[in-house]
Copies of this chain bind each other. A is one copy, B any other.
Amino acid sequence: MDNTLKPQGTATLSVDARQDLTELENSMVNIIEIFHSYSGKNCKLKKGDLKELINSQLSTFVKIQDSQTLDVIFTDLDENHDQEIDFSEYAALIAMVTSACHKSFHED
């Protein structure tokens, strides 16, 4: 599937390029840009970065009550156990929270 889904023609993130994207594609680029604003240059989130991202960007949907909650989220996401969250692991978080959010909308 990797080859099938390889993005094509997405060389830039300029304002002009963003205008040519659909609403869904722009939402996906937002998700990438927000990750970059919290990750270091190595594109990884340490536990403190993840906490800041969740508290600043996901506070309506995810409540971190205490450090234990953060530990559970971090450990669950860190699939390769390198004590950092890479983009794929972050994308899995976004997918999980969005799915939980979708379920919640239908329950309300």
Q: Are A58 and B24 interface neighbours, CB within 8 A?
A: yes
The interface size bin for chain A is 35 or more
Number of copies: 2
Residues of A within 8 A of B (CB): 1-2, 4-13, 20-32, 34-35, 43, 56-63, 69, 72-73, 76, 87-88, 91-92, 94-106, 108
What DSSP secondary structure best describes chain A's contact surface?
A: helix
A11 proximity list for chain B (CB < 8 A): 108
- Measured in the bound complex, the distance between the Cα atoms of B25 and A6 in whole Å is 25
Q: Are B96 and A1 interface neighbours, CB within 8 A?
A: yes
- Measured in the bound complex, the distance between the Cα atoms of B36 and A55 in whole Å is 28
Q: A2-B100, A23-B57, A92-B95 are in contact. List 16 more A-B contacts (CB 8 A).
A: A4-B69, A5-B62, A5-B73, A5-B97, A6-B100, A8-B63, A10-B105, A22-B57, A25-B57, A27-B34, A28-B31, A28-B61, A28-B98, A28-B101, A31-B98, A32-B98
